Amino acid sequence: MSESNAVLIGGKPVMNYVLACITLFHGGAKEVNVKARGRSISRAVDVVEVVRRRFLPDVKVKKIGIGTDQFASREEGGSPTNVSTIEITLAH
């Protein structure tokens, strides 16, 4: 699957990301990846649930992957920071 079928979740309202997913599916995509990090993970889950329950009931969750990204500390000599990640693959 190409990265153009990825929806990266951030701080915008949930419906903006729902519209992005629906647009990708109507554009012919068979799969859409919903990706989020940190506090945006709950918003990603909300996006997937709204897409599945209200707009495209035939869309199924194909795969859910979780992980951790490690970032260097902002201050010199500090310990690295871990941030949780999620990737949800929807299939039409």
Give me the domains of the chain, ranges plus CATH numbers: 3-91 (3.30.110.20)
Burial class of residue 14 in the structure, from the number of CB atoms within 10 Å of its CB (0-12 exposed, 13-18 middle, 19+ buried): middle
CA distance 44 to 49: 9
The pLDDT tens digits of the residues spanning 37-88 come to 999 999 999 999 999 999 999 999 999 999 999 988 777 778 889 999 999 9
Is the pTM here over 0.75, yes or no?
Answer: yes
- Compute the half-sphere exposure of residue 89: CA atoms within 13 Å on the CB side of its CA: 12
